[in-house]
Amino acid sequence: MKTIKNTTLLLFLMMCAISFGQEDNGKERIKTLKIAHLTDQLALTAAEAQKFWPIYNAHETAVEAFNRTKKDIDLRKKMQEVNALNEAEATSILEKLRVLNEKREKEKTDFIATIQKQFSSKKALQLMAAENSFKRRMLHRYKSRFDERREEKREAFEERRENLIKERSEKLKERNKKRK
């Protein structure tokens, strides 16, 4: 049984490695990392994995559909232009957001209830904790990259500044020499 679990984990990790080796878009890489993280954190048996992943994938598809719906109705753009909206448009946007949020919450609640029913309450909590730890890990990774890029830009700026100062200093020295 442990061999099957280790084999499953190894397969997912190999998928991660293959994913990184190819020119994939970022979303696919993140999905692959998330699968590996959840597999590791949940320690599913082969039988559990066969039941879990179809349920989880259906949930993820539903969440993606909610996100696409939010983009399709272009709520963010309309919310940024809130001063240009009349009361009826604002009410319509708020209603769409309310309905969308209710559907999303119902999907999440139903998903957790399904996991709890199919597996256990403990496994449902482990899943929630694993998803949260994955989000924190991704945010930390993003922040680290952002900080690295900011530091690189700062260093490049400082280098350009020093070079300009040297150039100006040399030009001033040359002018002073010519004057003498």
pLDDT at 133: 93
Q: Which residue has the higher pLDDT, 157 or 7?
A: 157
Run of H or E residues at 82: none
C-alpha to C-alpha distance for 66 and 31, rounded to whole angstroms: 17
How crowded is residue 52: how many other Cβ atoms within 10 Å of its Cβ? 20
Write the pLDDT tens digit of every residue in 113-160.
999 999 999 999 999 999 999 999 989 988 888 888 888 888 888 889
Q: Residue 72: which pLDDT band, with cuts at 50, 70 and 90?
A: low
Across the chain, what does the average pLDDT equal?
82
Find all residues with CB under 8 Å of 54, minimum gap 6, and list them: none
Q: Which two tokens stand for residue 70?
A: 């939010």
Q: Which two tokens stand for residue 18?
A: 């293959």
Q: Which two tokens stand for residue 152?
A: 């690189």
Domain boundaries, the chain: 1-43, 48-119, 120-180
- 3-class DSSP assignment, residue 85: coil
What is the per-residue DSSP string for 135-148? HHHHHHHHHHHHHH
Diameter of the chain measured on Cα atoms: 92
Q: Is the pLDDT of residue 7 over 80?
A: no
Average pLDDT over residues 16-26: 55
How crowded is residue 36: how many other Cβ atoms within 10 Å of its Cβ? 20
- Indicate the pTM of the whole model: 0.62
DSSP code of residue 59 = H
Q: Is the pLDDT of residue 2 over 80?
A: no
Average pLDDT over residues 29-43: 90
pLDDT at 136: 93
Q: Which two tokens stand for residue 49?
A: 């994995």
pLDDT at 57: 94
What is the per-residue DSSP string for 40-60? HHHT--HHHHHHHHHHHHHHH
